[in-house]
Structure 1
């Protein structure tokens, strides 16, 4: 079932796409949207924050929120570099399917211990998933999560959205993430699951995600073919 803020965001985005809200237009106030959609201003703010992360609108201190428009360098498959909602929500449940290639419980190596801030005797999920977009291989994700922070993870959850499970079932919120985006050479898994050849450049996002209490909940790498997806940043000079 679609959440209220998602519905509000979808309607506003459609108005941007069809030029009901043209580029450089000042959007209605949050209170006006709240009245129109019969939701709280917090719901409207959450919707607008998500649209801003997609680079469609921008906020000017003391002035309001303006439409940036759908920039010509954007592709539908692109993702905001600072997003926390995951592929399932970014691209839509009807377009994304996930297949667990590996799902095991392991004791962490010294490297994973350091990245997650845990001890050697604290087990982790070791997850390798192929994410497909409209039935085609899209992203290969390798994820480690401490079991004590994400209990009862299942194959059913892996086939949908781990982040939705964390946010809506476990009621945990992300505090932030450190992300490193870089080019890499293909490995055996890229060749097998992404249909790369031995010289296809790979784009990799390596990240550590932590909760609002400061505990690291995820260390992961996401890999895709160089031309399958890009990561976007909206950089505003608000001086």
Structure 2
């Protein structure tokens, strides 16, 4: 029997309150401190719960304003998708580690898509997800180059999240598109993932701002020898 994570349970309780009108549309949710007292949990647990609701389109969090209810539609209620990482954490130990952050040169011939979005240079972030201490997902994220201290940026991303860090630098993600494909892993990817298979699952995500400009491209390579990719819809 799988265990339900505490922050998932809290997110469901808050979502229920949104749907039944306890927290009306356009109203502000209680503060993190107030929710800590309501549920008798830590701040990080509340933040994870709010992140789930934000990802599902129920709330929007703005610095200096608070967390606002932006949807109580039946569509949200009937179309909930449990995140893959949440599913993994129900049965496994899942750890995330930032491997590197650096500016890379892009070649118009070798990297035509990335070159089209970012030009001659891009900021590249590498991350690894470990499943029960074994390499499972290797992520490569590409962004526009911004004037930052790389070491400081790594600390900021570890404390917040990639998308919160992007927003802090005025890159606000309004939408994203995920594409999945089976393709041949490069030797370096196989080595990083400790994977023997020649072919593997990759997820390519392109994030756009409100104007439709691509502001992030990420490539996730999955070692599905360990565990297949799962999408779970809750009706």
TM value normalised by structure 1: 0.57
Question: 1: distance between equivalents of 2:106 and 2:194?
Answer: 30
Pairwise mapping of residues 141-220 of structure 1 onto structure 2 (< 5 A)? 141-148=139-146, 151-154=148-151, 155-157=154-156, 159=158, 161-167=161-167, 169-199=168-198, 201-220=199-218
| Contact 1:211-1:217 at 8 Å conserved across structures | yes
> Aligned in 2, Cα 1:217/1:187: closer, same or farther, shift over 3 Å?
same
Pairwise mapping of residues 22-33 of structure 1 onto structure 2 (< 5 A)? 27-31=19-23
Count of matched residue pairs: 191
| Contact 1:99-1:131 at 8 Å conserved across structures | no
2:69 maps to what in 1?
none
> Aligned in 2, Cα 1:109/1:50: closer, same or farther, shift over 3 Å?
same
Question: 2: distance between equivalents of 1:8 and 1:99?
Answer: 23
Question: 1: distance between equivalents of 2:54 and 2:137?
Answer: 25
> Aligned in 2, Cα 1:33/1:185: closer, same or farther, shift over 3 Å?
same
Which among 46, 50, 55 is matched to residue 50 of structure 1? 55
The question of 1:77 aligning with 2:76 is answered no
Report which of the two has the higher share of helix. Answer: 2
> Aligned in 2, Cα 1:231/1:208: closer, same or farther, shift over 3 Å?
farther
| Contact 1:59-1:66 at 8 Å conserved across structures | no
The question of 1:60 aligning with 2:49 is answered no
The question of 1:139 aligning with 2:137 is answered yes
Question: 1: distance between equivalents of 2:129 and 2:13?
Answer: 26
1:38 maps to what in 2?
30
Pairwise mapping of residues 86-165 of structure 1 onto structure 2 (< 5 A)? 95-100=94-99, 102-110=100-108, 112=111, 114-115=113-114, 116-120=116-120, 123-148=121-146, 151-154=148-151, 155-157=154-156, 159=158, 161-165=161-165
Question: 1: distance between equivalents of 2:219 and 2:80?
Answer: 31
| Contact 2:178-2:206 at 8 Å conserved across structures | yes
How far residue 224 of structure 1 moved from its aligned partner, in angstroms, is 0.8
| Contact 2:102-2:150 at 8 Å conserved across structures | no
Per-residue deviation, residues 131-181 of structure 1 (Å, max 9, x unmatched): 224533121012221113x744433345553223123x3353202223210
TM value normalised by structure 2: 0.58
| Contact 2:104-2:123 at 8 Å conserved across structures | yes
> Aligned in 2, Cα 1:198/1:135: closer, same or farther, shift over 3 Å?
closer
**What RMSD, in angstroms, separates the aligned Cα atoms of the two structures?**
4.7
Question: 2: distance between equivalents of 1:164 and 1:192?
Answer: 31
Unaligned runs of 5+ in 1: 1-6, 79-93
| Contact 2:201-2:223 at 8 Å conserved across structures | yes
How far residue 187 of structure 1 moved from its aligned partner, in angstroms, is 2.9
Unaligned runs of 5+ in 2: 1-5, 32-46, 59-71
| Contact 2:98-2:127 at 8 Å conserved across structures | yes
